[in-house]
Amino acid sequence: MDVSAFLLGANQKVLGDSWFVFYGQPQSPDRSVSFETLSTNQCEKIHIQLNQLNSVVQKIVFVLTINEALTRNLNFSMIEHAYIQIIDSNQHELVSFPMSDYYESVTSMMIGEIYLHNGIWKFHAVGNGVKEDLAGLCRRYGVNVS
C-alpha cells in the first residue's frame, strides 16, 4: 500500500502535476508537503507545514492505493492492521483510527482530507473506497497521466 496527497485548489483539482505528492514525487513545489518512507516499520508519512502552504491550496486529499491492484487482482479485503494517525510537530497524537472495514471491491481509498474552512484548517476522515488505481485517482484530481 502507498499513501499519496493531492493538493487541490477551489476547483477540486491539483494546482498542477507537481502538486501531487507521493513516492515518485516526494515534495510539493512550495516545500510545504513531503513524503517519507520509514523502512523500519513499513510505514509511510506525509509531512505538512501549513504555514508554508501556497495560499491557493484549499484542500489536501490523502489516498491509499495498492500497487498494481487492478492488474494483480488485489483489494482492501486482503489488508490487515492498517491505520491512520495524525501527529503534531511534537510527536503527540491528535487523532488515530483503524481501517477495520475491508472490501473486495475497493482498490483505492480516500482516507481523509485537510481543508480550509472560514480561514481555519480542519481534518475530515473520509474512508471512501473506490475501484480505481493510482492513475485513475490522478485523473480524478486533474493530474496528467501519460
C-alpha span between 48 and 41 (Å, rounded): 21
Of 144, 114, 124, 129, the closest CA to residue 20 belongs to: 144
**Lowest-pLDDT range, 54-58, 97-101, 110-114?**
97-101
* Torsional sign, CA 7, 11, 17, 22: positive
Average pLDDT, the chain: 87
The residue-averaged pLDDT of 88-108 equals 77
The residue-averaged pLDDT of 81-101 equals 76
- Cβ-in-10-Å burial (0-12, 13-18, 19+) of 31 comes to exposed
pLDDT in the model for residue 108: 84
Percentage of the chain beyond pLDDT 70 is 95
pLDDT in the model for residue 40: 65
Other Cβ atoms closer than 10 A to 124: 11
The residue-averaged pLDDT of 134-144 equals 93
pLDDT digits (tens, 9 = 90+) for 27-85: 999 999 999 887 766 678 888 999 999 999 999 999 988 888 888 888 877 877 777 77
Sequential DSSP letters for 36-100: EEETTTTEEEEEE-GGGS-TT--EEEEEEE-TTHHHHT--GGG--S-EEEEE-TTS-EEEEEE--
Is the pLDDT at 2 greater than 90? The verdict is no
The residue-averaged pLDDT of 12-33 equals 95
pLDDT in the model for residue 126: 83
Q: Which residue has the higher pLDDT, 127 or 133?
A: 133
Residue 13: φ, ψ to 5°: -125, 155
119: CB partners within 8 A, 6+ apart: none
pLDDT in the model for residue 73: 86
pLDDT in the model for residue 34: 93
C-alpha span between 17 and 96 (Å, rounded): 30
